[in-house]
């Protein structure tokens, strides 16, 4: 079983951390938890 990462908060900071973690270790299973029904996105 590989490593798992849970990120609390899907705002800009959480998304940035998820992206960087995925770049550093593509084998990670990354989950993001957000309180609201929508995830922050930027253009």
Non-local CB neighbours of 37 within 8 Å, separated by 6+ positions: none
What is the total count of domains within the chain?
A: 1
Phi, psi of 19 (to 5 degrees): -65, -45
Terminal alpha carbon distance of the chain = 35
30 contacts: CB under 8 Å, gap ≥ 6: 4, 5, 7, 18, 21, 22
What pLDDT score was predicted for residue 35? 87
* Model pLDDT for residues 1-43, shown as the tens digit of each residue: 689 999 998 888 888 899 999 999 999 999 999 888 776 665 4
| Alpha-helical regions (H) of 1-43 | 12-24
Tell me which residue range forms the domain holding 11.
Answer: 1-43
């Amino acid at each position: 079983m590989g490593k798992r990462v849970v990120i609390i908060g899907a705002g800009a900071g959480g998304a940035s951390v998820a992206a960087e973690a995925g770049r550093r270790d593509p084998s990670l299973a990354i989950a993001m938890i957000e309180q609201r029904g929508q995830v922050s996105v930027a253009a």
